Homo-oligomer: A and B are copies of this chain.
Amino acid sequence: MFLKELKFDSTKHTYIKDITKIVNETIEKANVKQGFAVVSSRHTTLGIIVNEIAEPNLLNDFISHSLANVHEDKRSTRINKHYNYPTCDYKHRCQDNPYCNEIDEDYNAAAHIRSLTFSHPSVTVPIRDGKLELGKYQQVALFEFDGRDGKGKNPIRKRTAQIWICPGESLTVVK
């Protein structure tokens, strides 16, 4: 098994980041010809998707739909006079998690629900001929639902995603 960790600052609230190239580079470095790549998130408001990531207007549609379909917490630091999506009442507060030992003064229930609805904690993609076995319009991407820019009370979001490469035995095609 091989593991590559991606560590990055996530400063924009909601966005989608294509990581197909780095997954394929990791497969090449591991010299694995067939098997599976498991791409996983270490966060509860950042998930993994496989979709058509190369068309930027579609990413805007994904983001707009996620904001319209899952209402934002009325108390969220994002809510200002320019915020044009629906809001509602939630109960969650980051500080109420018993494991929380950091500054996190925000109300991000909606980000958690968007993560449950529109993404996966991990995705499993087959590897064939030394690269991801994806269709012509498929890419692997991270869907961030709760980035933080560090301008308010809350620090910049440090994120980690993991790419696990698992070699498989030789491939037999079944008719």
Contacts and interface: CB of A to CB of B under 8 A. Distances in A.
Interface of A: 1-5, 26, 29-30, 34-36, 38, 40-44, 49-52, 54-55, 57-58, 60-62, 65, 69-70, 90-93, 96-100, 109, 112-113, 115-126, 128, 133-138, 160, 162, 164-175
Q: What's the dominant secondary structure at chain A's contact region?
A: mixed
A122 B121 contact: no
B162 A133 contact: yes
A158 to B, nearest CB: 11
A49 B118 CA distance: 13
Nearest to A169: B1
A92 B125 contact: no
Given A90-B61, A126-B164, A172 B52 contact: no
**How many monomers of this protein are in the complex?**
3
B99 A136 contact: yes
A42 B50 CA distance: 10
User: 4 nearest interchain CB pairs?
Assistant: A42-B135, A50-B121, A57-B91, A58-B92
